[in-house]
Copies of this chain bind each other. A is one copy, B any other.
Amino acid sequence: MRFVALTLFLAASVARADLSEADLATAARLRDSALASPLAYELVTSLTTEVGSRMAGSPGDERAVAWAVARLKRLGFANVRAEPFKFTAWKRGPGHAQITAPYPHRLVMTALGNSVPTPPEGLEAEVAYYPDFAALRADKSDRARGKIVFIDQKTERLRFGATYGSAVAARTSGASEAAKRGAIASVIRSIGTDHDRMAHTGAMLYQADAPRIPAIAVSVPDADTIARIAKDANASPLRLKLVVATEPEVPATSHNVIAEIEGTDLAKDIVLIGAHLDSWDEGTGAIDDGAGVGIVVGAAKAILDSGSKPRRTIRVVLFGNEEKVVDGSRAYGEKYKDVRHQMVGESDFGAGRPWRFATRVTPAALPVMAQIEKVLVPLDMARGDNDANTGPDAALLSRRHGWPTLHADQDGSDYFNYHHTPNDTLDKVDPAAMRVNVAAWSVMAWLAAQSDVEFGPLPREPGP
């Protein structure tokens, strides 16, 4: 069915007029001017310095929204606004963890987002060790009952972060799987590719049919220590103590911040380029996702300054509460569900150099993608497939609403070294690589705005 449609659409689109030479020439100029612009790096510098950490629902989050509105207005965008949405926030309190036996060690830990607290006096118990999450899921025995489960799931380093998707299940679902087996708390090896004494936080989710038990991550070197002791047949039983304060389920309001370049003849159609404004609390949110904020605002500003008016409206959306999880984009989708979106794109993988142009568009638009690709080749970007991954916000919008997406796939070799840790700071952002991203997004947004061809709609996929 889909194959038939593809053939028909391809035949149709080959015959029609497409991106004009003038639009392609403008795209090339945008690309080259973006490569020379310091704006994106200035923005991530300003956001991480003047705001810093900004977990949704925190005072930092409010300051980030005010920062973004002020900056976007000052840059000259139209219709700058902060659109409120309600969500359930989570607050972190102090936490600490130790190995209490057979050898005392202080552990570097972080509570996972949404985790319930321990009792104020903490929890102490023997450890049930699992070499990975699959081993826990396969366990039909009673051996975790009354214990603290430790899941020693490793995260492999790959350019794309392709193993993150599988490893992260230990973080999101580990506590509930442990609780179903009678465990009193869940501890995971950080989902990260580094060997730094830093724990990686991130959201976890409780399943409805399992008791809610506290969930923490320890740093990779601390996980190594736990694993060495757990595997030492001569050591007496390994025991941990956790003291974790959190406040789950705090009613809160945050905002998506929006700015536009109004379109001309197709102004009602939206070309959305986004990033998320919130960050985890441990770092200053430079690579996650201050970089994305700089990149998409920088790309839109390049278009704004080009003197060329886009046909469709280019809309920058800085989503709130992506991290815990995607409440802002859910609210955005609900509000704008009846508006045609030519494209929803999101830059949320740090500032690493983009190396591939990926899309998820209707087959009729594939020849346009080939035209866009040609403008991206000088950035050393290859053509990816038509089943793009994009940031979590854009992915939700694309799947739920059938809106197409274009994406600049980035080199994320070191992304999961720093992701969700105190180490997510400005020094991890490479200004030169960042500018290449700005160039790519300015080209994609501009040509999406100009194309005669509609990139969607795509089939909608129901989801959470």
Contact = CB atoms under 8 A, between A and B. Distances in A.
Interface of A: 45, 48-53, 59, 102-106, 108, 195-198, 220-221, 224-225, 228-229, 283-284, 421-423, 425-428
A174 to B, nearest CB: 23
A456 B53 CA distance: 59
A49 B421 CA distance: 24
A197 B197 contact: no
Nearest to A197: B422
Given A196-B423, A198-B198, 11 more contacts: A49-B225, A50-B103, A52-B103, A52-B105, A52-B225, A195-B425, A195-B427, A197-B423, A220-B427, A221-B284, A221-B427
A395 to B, nearest CB: 29
Ordered nearest first, which 3 A-B pairs have the shortest CB separation? Answer: A221-B425, A197-B422, A195-B427
Contacts of A221: 284, 423, 425-427
B421 A197 contact: yes
Find the residue from A51, A59, A421, A425 having the highest chain B CB count within 10 A.
A425
A196 to B, nearest CB: 6
A104 to B, nearest CB: 7
5 contacts: A49-B225, A51-B103, A108-B422, A196-B198, A198-B198
Nearest to A198: B197
A294 to B, nearest CB: 15
Contact of A49 (B45, B103, B283, B423): B103
A229 B50 CA distance: 9
A221 B283 CA distance: 10
A218 to B, nearest CB: 12
Find the residue from A51, A106, A196 having the highest chain B CB count within 10 A.
A196
Nearest to A195: B427
Contacts of A220: 427
Contacts of A229: 49
Contacts of A197: 198, 283, 421-423, 425
Find the residue from A103, A106, A221, A224 having the highest chain B CB count within 10 A.
A221
A196 B225 CA distance: 21
Contacts of A224: 425-427
A261 to B, nearest CB: 28
Contacts of A48: 225
A255 B209 CA distance: 56
A196 B423 CA distance: 6
A427 B227 CA distance: 13
Contacts of A59: 104
A180 to B, nearest CB: 31
A47 to B, nearest CB: 11
A29 B426 CA distance: 51
Given A221-B423, A422-B108, A423-B221, A428 B49 contact: no
A85 B29 CA distance: 74
A445 B64 CA distance: 62
Contacts of A102: 50
A332 B228 CA distance: 35
Nearest to A67: B103
A426 to B, nearest CB: 7
Given A196-B196, A197-B421, A422-B197, A49 B427 contact: no
A417 to B, nearest CB: 10
Contacts of A53: 105-106
A50 B234 CA distance: 12
A195 B424 CA distance: 10
Nearest to A424: B197
Contact of A195 (B104, B225, B428): B428
A422 B427 CA distance: 20
Contacts of A50: 102-103
Contacts of A104: 52, 59
Contacts of A421: 197
Nearest to A417: B196
A60 B200 CA distance: 27
A91 to B, nearest CB: 15
Contacts of A284: 105, 221, 225
Contacts of A427: 195, 220-221, 224
Nearest to A59: B104
